[in-house]
Amino acid sequence: MHRLERNTVRVASVTVLTLLCATFAAGCGADTDPPPESVSGPTVQPADITSQAERLIGPKMPVGSTLECPDPLSAQVDATTTCSWAMPDGTSIGMTVTVTEITDGRASLNFANDDQVTPSPSS
């Protein structure tokens, strides 16, 4: 179940309110909350990560799967964050998001699902 996908999203500066637009997204949103202290400088916001992953990988996941990407991603090459797909049967699968390139204020992202499914807590 290992999948790699690549996409590009704009990065936002934490010091200046910047509109965030995913390159293939229809809409934009503004980020007014500062990221956690562990992330500084330009970031890719969780909503943008989730939007892109759902668009690219979501159709390949079981119907009813949901994705949670709780943390902003530092817009630096090789920076990573972890997201989690919740499956309808209660299992989950992790997904690593990695910045592969920054060009003209856009971060290229790779999405890679883990090889192993995590059993549901009630299993």
Instruction: Give the model confidence (pLDDT) of 111-121 as tens digits.
Output: 999 988 888 77
* Mean predicted confidence (pLDDT) in 89-99: 95
Q: For residue 50, give the H/E element and its range.
A: helix 46-56
- The answer to whether the beta carbons of residues 68 and 11 sit under 8 Å apart is no
Q: What is the pTM of this model?
A: 0.67
